[in-house]
Structure 1
Amino acid sequence: MGVSVLTIVRNRSHHLRQLVEGLRRSERQPDELVIVDMSDTPVSVAPAGFPIRIDRFETHGLPLAAARNRAAALARFENLIFLDVDCIPLERCVGILADTLAHHDALLCADVRYLGPDDARGVWTEEELIAAGRHHPVRTFPDNGVREEPNPGLFWSLAFALKRARFVSLAGFDEAFTGYGAEDTDFGFRASEADIRLLFVGQAIACHQHHDSYDPPLQHLEDIVRNARTFQARWGRWPMEGWLRAFADLGLVRWQGEALDLLRLPTDAEKVATRVLPEQHLDPPARSPARLAN
């Protein structure tokens, strides 16, 4: 069956070019790449040997659920591979995910490796990326084949795959989650509730390109608080607990029992203080079981 690779982008055109380059080098190239572009200035990409369609999505903020659903609706093929724009798929990644979907009607997570600030900034080789990439400290992948993961909170939206019919049966990502945070955790929980297995796939490697980040992500405070409330009301537990605890420690929120109140917005100085320094890239944040990475 054909393979649609789907990505969404907002103001990361350099990362997008490297994602396309990874697909161009793939042993099994996709049958199409669908790009949902939310950037301030429209993106463009060079021809890559497979069809590329760019859908312009005029929006504000970072509506992750809506953008991913839009990409899936545009896909022409049965096998869907979602890659965040920061990810460079290595040469076997697409092929292994497609082959695994042929044998397992499941929700698949690729093995994401974190790159440093100087990696993949120009010409690169796969060997260099493998040497530089760091494993996530919590998610463990088999050397080959698949490992079933019982905790749906470990679903990883950075690089994942599933069949279109499964995505449709779940009604995609829930757009009640607006902006950033918890939409992927909710998707993982709903997949588990529908008896869709979560499989971690060995050797389906994608390398996550470094970008400025904050821990906790104060720039998304309002989105995270709003979406955390939505998640808690639905599932009876809090997502992103590490971030919520950090917000509470900073006096930004009041978090007690089933109540979460936004007290104030962060100052510029607080944002600067939580910026992840380049040398800290060697330790990808573990965060909470219901939201471990982005």
Structure 2
Amino acid sequence: MRSPISAVTIVKSRTEKLTNLITQLEQCSPTPDELVIVWMAPPSDLSLVRSDKFDIVHKFVTQDALPIAKARNKGMSAAKHANLVYLNVDAVIAPSLFRDGLLALRDNTVVITSVVFLPNERCCKPYRQISKDEKEIGYLASNDDTLPEDDNNEIPSRDQEINHGKFSDDSICSTVFFIRKADFHKTGGFDEGYAGFGLNDEDFFTNCRALGFSLEQLPTRTFAPHRPNYQCPINHLLDFVHNAQRFHSKWGFYPCVNVLNAYADQGFINADFKQNGIKIKHLPQQVEEDTPGAPAEKPMVTNAQNNIAFTSFHSPEKESGLLSTSA
């Protein structure tokens, strides 16, 4: 049975993740009525993939590449239903996702799920198997209120200052979220003025709250691979600083202050950025690909001391309790 909702995802090169997502959607009860796929790169063998369970609508670029914000906006605008759900292409979703989300969704509300980040190889199993394994291990979701005392490689660090509480966890919120199409249009969509890495999600959900929308979290869990781009390494310094300045000019405060403080501690930006704005003092040095000991496939950026990677979000304070669900 189909539900009156449009699912939206964007994809560039991770076509194997798209295949897995479509399979998951086909196993949902109910399924979405349509899946809108925005291709951020030239077409591939999957660019006309179809499903017997729901309609698939393909949207293609008219240029060499499509930025993430523009791709998301294109997909959400192309959806035909009043109810929308955005899905990261590598999300592993619950079979009850659409039933649970539609029960909770209402006007002026964004509904998100609980999210558990896992090593990529553990996200290749069916949802029920992953869920069973994680219950046995005891990991909790990255945006749950209560987390294990000891950090581990699968859960982002929480040993950091909470800044602006409810604004600090939006990178996780964007993994899966439901919103009315009319409400998405009220936001103006994702700000396409952000360049490169960082803070577009924080900006979008800050905008939602500024409009008076409520963010409600389902107890329904989503699993996702813990990839390096969930963090903020210093090779994205320029993008992050540019985007932080844009964010501050719009909202009057800096997001992800722990990242900026870490930049300041390493001497890349001024320590008094809150009072005097961000000024770049010097740039990190690029490691050459042929440097002995440096990974050939992914050169890192470092300073003279060591490699540094800073997390780009915090565990948030919640404005409301978990929603009840029939799952």
Q: Is this a same-fold pair by TM over 0.5?
A: yes
The within-5 A match list for 1:5-84 is 5-39=7-41, 42=44, 44=46, 46-48=49-51, 49-57=53-61, 63-84=67-88
CA deviations 1:130-174 (Å, max 9, x no partner) are 145543444439xxxxxxxx8244341111111001111111122
Q: Say whether 1:287 aligns with 2:290.
A: no
Q: Which residue of the other structure, out of 172, 180, 185, is the alignment partner of 2:189?
A: 172
Deviation at 1:125, TM superposition (A): 2.6
Cα distance in 2 between the residues matched to 1:91 and 1:115: 19
Aligned-partner SS, 1:89: coil
Secondary structure of the structure 2 residue equivalent to 1:227: helix
Distance 1:209 1:43, change over 3 A: farther
Q: Which moved more, 1:132-141 or 1:239-248?
A: 132-141
Secondary structure at the counterpart of residue 31 of structure 2: coil
Distance 1:286 1:253, change over 3 A: closer
Amino acid at match of 1:47: R
Q: Which residues of 2 match residues 142-181 of structure 1 at below 5 A?
A: 151-155=166-170, 156-181=173-198
Shift of 1:58: 5.2
CA RMSD of aligned residues (A): 2.9
Number of the residue aligned with 1:144:
none
- TM-score normalised by length of structure 2: 0.72
Q: Which runs of 5+ in 1 are unaligned?
A: 142-149, 277-284
Deviation of 1:57 (Å): 2.4
**How is 1:255-294 mapped onto 2 (pairs within 5 angstroms)?**
255=271, 256-257=273-274, 258-262=276-280, 263-268=282-287, 270-271=300-301, 273-274=307-308, 287-288=313-314
- Separation (CA, whole Å) in 2 of partners of 1:180 and 1:60: 19
Match of 2:127 in 1: 126
Q: Indicate the residue corresponding to 2:264 in structure 1.
A: 248
Structure 1 residues 176 and 274: CA distance shift in structure 2, 3 A? same
Q: 2:219 aligns with which of 183, 199, 202?
A: 202
Matched, 1:99 2:100: no
Question: Contact 2:247 / 2:254 at 8 angstroms: preserved in 1?
Answer: yes
TM-score by length of 1: 0.80
Deviation at 1:62, TM superposition (A): 7.0
Aligned residues: 270
Change (3 A) 1:286 1:248: closer
**Is the Cα–Cα contact under 8 Å of residues 24 and 92 in structure 2 kept in the other structure?**
yes
Runs of at least 4 residues off by over 4 Å: 58-62
Q: SS at the partner of 1:127?
A: helix
Once the two structures are superposed, what CA deviation does each residue of 1:6-43 show, in whole Å capped at 9, x if it has no partner? 11122211222222121111111111111111136636
Q: Residues 96 and 219 of structure 1: is their aligned pair in 2 closer, same or farther, counting only changes over 3 Å?
A: farther
Evaluate the alpha carbon distance shift between residue 228 and residue 214 of structure 1 in structure 2; reply closer, same or farther with a 3 A threshold: same
Residues 240-259 of structure 1 show CA distances to partners (whole Å, capped at 9, x for unaligned) of 22222233334433352242
Gaps of 5+ in 2: 147-164, 288-293, 295-299, 317-327
Cα distance change on mapping 1:115 and 1:21 into 2, 3 Å? farther
Mapped partners of 1:213, 1:13: distance in 2? 18
Which of 145, 149, 161 is matched with 1:140 structurally? Answer: 145
Query: Could you tell me whether the CA contact under 8 Å between 1:64 and 1:183 is conserved in 2?
Result: no
State the identity as a percent: 24
Question: d(CA) in 1 for partners of 2:94 and 2:20?
Answer: 11
1:223 aligned to which of 228, 231, 239: 239
Report if the CA contact (8 A) 1:38-1:58 is conserved.
no
Structure 1 residue 210: Cα displacement: 4.0
CA distance in 2, matches of 1:275, 1:165: 38
